[in-house]
Copies of this chain bind each other. A is one copy, B any other.
Amino acid sequence: MFEQLGVIGCGLIGGSFALALRRAGMVGRVVGYSKSPSTTEQARRLGVIDVVAESALLAVSGSDIVLVAVPVAAMEATFKAIRHLIDPGTLVMDVGSTKRDVVDAARRVLKDRIGSFVPAHPIAGKEVSGIEHADGTLFQGRQVILTPLPQTSAELLQKATNAWAAIGSHVLRMTPENHDAAFAAVSHLPHILAFAFFNAISRQPAGRDYLSLGGPGFRDFTRIAASNPEVWRDILMANREEILKQTQHFRHALDAMEHVVRTGNSEALESLIRSASEARAGWQMNSATPHTHR
């Protein structure tokens, strides 16, 4: 149980975390700050936060748990703005999709207060953003990755684990390096492919006609192409080394498929498709509960 949650960045993720923590009876009061006053005001009207903070620092004042839910590129400036009020008992978490860059920023800025910081990445989201889409069940049955540092307080790490578990998430721990390598593969690569695919189709002269013929497979394959441009610009930039390794793996796999198609080797083509098809058919999304909110 926490006395006060300070949310910095009242968007989809920050707002959903506040709703979820309250729903779980894990928090007394929620204070929120956003760059735009109208966003914070809306969060208050929607009952997502109780009190509007006039600055990021004031959102930390009196809070024993702080969620920094700002774009990855704004993380360092936010840490600078709040570091003076982080004391050894304050749990501070981010929700960034990349972890090495956030951890580096935290080390640079938080210095001797780094022990309060528990880097977090909840594997949940929607293709819509904004406080109006906040959803207290967003993290239910979803994985959340914590990437603690050697200096991270064991007690605060346990509190972080309890908070995410209380709102239905399945908590995993990884190093920031392993996190970024893994998510380059299963999240960042699919996004870059989906963006490139959509651009490839829509820029052809008959692209508009083609798009009108997309069916359910097209719909699902391209869903992530609608993701937020600023958020994904930051993610792809922050993790570019790992992502460019993954695009190389992908290019080799695509080369192999194109080669067998071009040379008419239908046996080899079937075998490449079969290995993908069987692996995908056997895949199941890891989740803490069997029937989860989407």
B-contacting 9-mer, from A85-93, A158-166, A260-268: A260-268
- Contact yes or no, A253 B223, CB < 8 A: no
User: What copy number does this chain have within its complex?
Assistant: 2
Contact between B246 and A217, CB atoms less than 8 A apart: no
Does A111 sit within 8 A of B, measured CB to CB?
no
- Residues 112-145 of A contacting B (Cβ, < 8 Å): 123-125, 127, 142-143, 145
Report whether A274 and B229 are in contact in the complex, using a CB–CB cutoff of 8 Å.
Answer: yes
Whether A211 contacts B186 by the Cβ 8 Å rule is yes
Contact of A264 (CB < 8 Å), options: B234, B237, B247: B237
Residues of B within 8 A of A213 (CB): 123, 143, 145, 172, 182-183, 186, 286
16 contacts between A and B (CB under 8 A): A123-B215, A143-B215, A182-B210, A183-B213, A187-B214, A187-B218, A190-B222, A192-B254, A195-B273, A196-B253, A200-B250, A217-B223, A232-B273, A233-B266, A240-B262, A244-B258
A residues adjacent to B (C-beta < 8 A): 123-125, 127, 142-143, 145, 172, 181-183, 185-187, 189-204, 206-207, 209-230, 232-234, 236-237, 240, 243-244, 246-247, 249-250, 252-254, 256-258, 261-262, 264, 266, 269-270, 272-277, 279-281, 283, 285-286, 294
